[in-house]
Chain A
Amino acid sequence: MHRIDQRFVELRRAGRKALCVYLCVGDPSLEASGFLAVEAIDAGADILELGVPFSDPTADGPTLARAAERAIAAGATLERVLDVASRIRARSEAPLVLFTYYNPVLVAGEAKVARLAREAGVDALLVVDLPPEEAGPLRGACAAEGLGVVPLVSPTSHAARVEAIRRASMPLDGAPRAFVYSISMTGVTGASPSDLAAAARDAEAMRRSFDRPVLVGFGIDSGVSARLAAGEATGGADGVVVGTALARRIEQAASGDEQRRVVRSFVGDLRRALDEPA
């Protein structure tokens, strides 16, 4: 079984929600991102999303847009993010998802990116501006390397659209099932939380139709909101994704040591909130 699918089986068996943590790799430096990723895993993150910074991050709010600007200034590119991934992989078996905009993948070449990602120990790609209609070639290239491509579902995705996404994102032979990313609200990353309890209920329905794990992201900025978005212990979502709230803490930390401390304490808080008995 693929590493990422194995992780979801283990979590389910243990009755735990998945905590997926997004890091903009290269913010504040490529080296620091490697350390911060390991801190996050040690503090209880189950899955890491490794963000490739992009010059025109139209789906991101100001916090992650600033993080991307700093990361690009620090020399982060898709290939260097994959170097960081392989360093994390040398330390941990946590599933790694490469989170990127499409242009860096297209310019480098889809087959090449899939091969380099597999060599770096990445399990799946999530391309934020690549709807399933356009994702065919990348899905093929990734499946050939044993990687998945994570589909996104939004509150604006009407029933027929959700069904179309489901069909177009069925795991190909050789690819992991990975998960479905359910966006909790219309907006950019880091906007104020909306009705996360409703998002958890939607995720439960989505999991039944997709027959794949569903993670809820956008607007989760605390243990309380993580718990709300994850929903009931036996239903709800399979887990949550937290990005902006962590990037903001990293941005505000005064030193490298403090960055590691805030990652450890914030990810730890999220972990405890998700693991609390109902």
Chain B
Amino acid sequence: MLGAGYFGQFGGRFVAETLVPALEELDRARQEILPAPSFQAELHELLRSYVGRPTPLTEAKRLARRIDPDGGAIAELLLKREDLCHTGAHKINNALGQLLLAKAMGKTRIIAETGAGQHGVATATAAALLGLPCEVYQGALDMERQAPNVARMRLLGARVVPVESGSRTLKDAMNEALRDWVTNVRTTYYCVGSAAGPHPYPTLVASLQRIIGDEARASCLDRGALPDAVIACVGGGSNAIGIFKAFEGDPSVSLYGVEAAGHGLDTDKHAATLSRGRVGVLHGAKTYVLCDDAGQVNEAHSVSAGLDYPGVGPEHARLRDTGRATYVSATDTEALDAAREVARAEGIVVALETAHAFAAIGAIARREAEARGRPARILVCLSGRGDKDLDTITAYGGGK
């Protein structure tokens, strides 16, 4: 037997035996049900009429001049507006696809984990639309940080289960969701929110999120040219893999993922797994993990609950090692400052996760412009809106 679902040395299926047959069943469904024309037609109709796809590209001229006043680094700054999706983030692309699949597989109950609550809201929304009961595991600390999303999930009919173990954040929510799944595996569908976890989740989630990149690439070509650089924030990495996928085969396009540096990479309070992690196994996949010499997983830190995760999707681990993508980081403060800049310059309140990608635009644009000898065309994945983060941003002083 050979392990399935590897990206180079990363990925695989490191789970308790009880879950292996369920993952095999899901992988068959992914290969047989997902590509079927009738399934694709139903999914795309919902993405159009319910989610609001395709989402637009917005040119951010004022923000570009604020970041690059003399115009030497940025020729064009384009934003892929996933914040305009129903529920306010890219997460709905994945949740809707997976829940349609769950229904086709005959599953009668949905569970999910959530950090910032965006995936929880997206899953609760899709579950309401499709008439499926839904329970969402969320770290107790994250429930405090993202109270509006907790209220939204409950309004949508989902049961939100507080997780009090460990760091009371995303990793612990995923632990608890896995415990639920191992107990109720025969009836329950586990809707994983990022391109992480055991095979086939990284592949399944990437295939549902690549619509971000496919649309963005077509829009760029309509405007006349591919971008020089694509930038996205990376926690587990689903919006990033979704936009990267479409450009992976374009050698002229540089791919940049931005991780959360929290209080700084040289402190013990960050979530920069690809910058500071080591090869390990967390939540079913071999990937980069923040852990100590004894293999105990560290508690990650980020002001953004959606990036506060000590692992990362295994495909990003491979893109890092092959050098096809470059991973940089932004601190809490840089992200908060960027969120305020974007609001003032463009009239868009971005999620704190997304704000990390914006915080890195200046440095990436200068690097690309220098390498290319001309100002660079930059495409940023604006993965979600920031209503849920208003308390954090205003407490920091962003409301002043």
Contacts and interface: CB of A to CB of B under 8 A. Distances in A.
Contacts of A65: 165
Contacts of A132: 1
B36 interface: no
Interface in B181-208: 182-186
Interface in A172-198: 183, 186-188, 191
Contacts of A191: 183
A107 B179 contact: no
Nearest to A76: B294
A103 B280 contact: yes
A116 interface: no
12 contacts: A54-B296, A56-B282, A58-B15, A58-B175, A102-B14, A103-B289, A103-B295, A103-B297, A131-B14, A156-B21, A186-B182, A187-B182
Interface string A141-184: 00000000000111111100100110110000000000000010
B297 A128 contact: no
B279 interface: yes
A74 interface: no
A129 B195 CA distance: 20
A214 to B, nearest CB: 14
A72 B286 CA distance: 23
Contacts of A78: 294-295
Q: Considering residues A58, A79, A191, which has the most beta carbons from chain B within 10 angstroms of its beta carbon?
A: A58
A139 to B, nearest CB: 12
Interface in B288-319: 289, 291, 293-297
B294 A156 contact: no
A72 B13 contact: no
A128 B19 CA distance: 12
A156 B2 CA distance: 20
A77 interface: yes
Interface string B93-117: 0000000000000000000000000
B152 interface: no
B294 A77 contact: yes
B17 A131 contact: yes
B18 interface: yes
B49 to A, nearest CB: 38
Contacts of B295: 54, 77-78, 103-108
A152 B281 contact: no
Nearest to B294: A77
Contacts of A183: 17-18
A63 B134 CA distance: 26
Contact of B13 (A105, A108, A134): A134
A226 B296 CA distance: 33
Q: Which of B3, B16, B179: most chain A Cβ within 10 A? A: B16
Task: Find the residue from B12, B19, B166, B278 having the highest chain A CB count within 10 A.
Answer: B19
Nearest to B12: A134
A133 B280 contact: no
